[in-house]
Amino acid sequence: GISPTVVHFNIALTKLGKSRRVDLAQHAWEAMETRGIAPNAASYAAFGAVQTCTEELDGLLSQQVSLGVPPAVAFFEAFVKLSRHDEAAVRDFLLRCLDAGLPRNSRVVASAGVVLGPPESKRLVLG
């Protein structure tokens, strides 16, 4: 038979996220861990998109950092979406993501700008 790879799990996590099936996404994540399949940035972004609170994303960021996996822009966007416009939380998470290797690009500026405003967002992301 075919052994699933991280790509298979990323596809499943993305589909489950779009259908808001948190329970099945959690099961897929656990199955990936059980099989010893290391998540990549796309895995964290897809799994991050199904989370329901910023604390879960914070834990996932810590896990990514410990594994040396830089966060994807979609992962940061998931946090902003759940942040309920908490400027301090978004600023802190943004800085931690940037330190961990989040790309410094216009998409990140735009996402952070929703909460922090464009000038502050540009200053933090682009320097």
Structure tokens at 17: 């996220």
- The answer to whether the CB of 25 falls within 8 A of the CB of 16 is yes
Q: Where are the alpha helices (DSSP H) in 68-126?
A: 73-82, 87-99, 106-116, 118-126
pLDDT tens sequence across 70-80 = 999 999 999 99
Average pLDDT, the chain: 95
Q: Comparing C-alpha atoms, which of 88, 57, 99 is closest to residue 74?
A: 57
Q: What pLDDT shows up at residue 2?
A: 84
Structure tokens at 27: 């099961």
Q: What pLDDT shows up at residue 43?
A: 96
Q: What pLDDT shows up at residue 17?
A: 87
Alpha carbon distance 14, 9 (integer Å) = 8
Q: What pLDDT shows up at residue 18?
A: 87
Structure tokens at 4: 């699933």
pLDDT tens sequence across 81-102 = 999 899 999 999 999 999 999 9
Structure tokens at 52: 């329901």
**Mean pLDDT, 10 residues at a time, over the chain (127 residues)?**
92 91 94 95 94 93 94 95 94 97 96 96 96
How far is CA 44 from its chain centroid? 5
User: Which pTM value belongs to this model?
Assistant: 0.91
Beta-carbon contacts of residue 20 (< 8 Å; ≥ 6 apart) = 50
Structure tokens at 44: 């964290």
Q: Where are the alpha helices (DSSP H) in 2-117?
A: 6-18, 22-34, 41-49, 54-67, 73-82, 87-99, 106-116
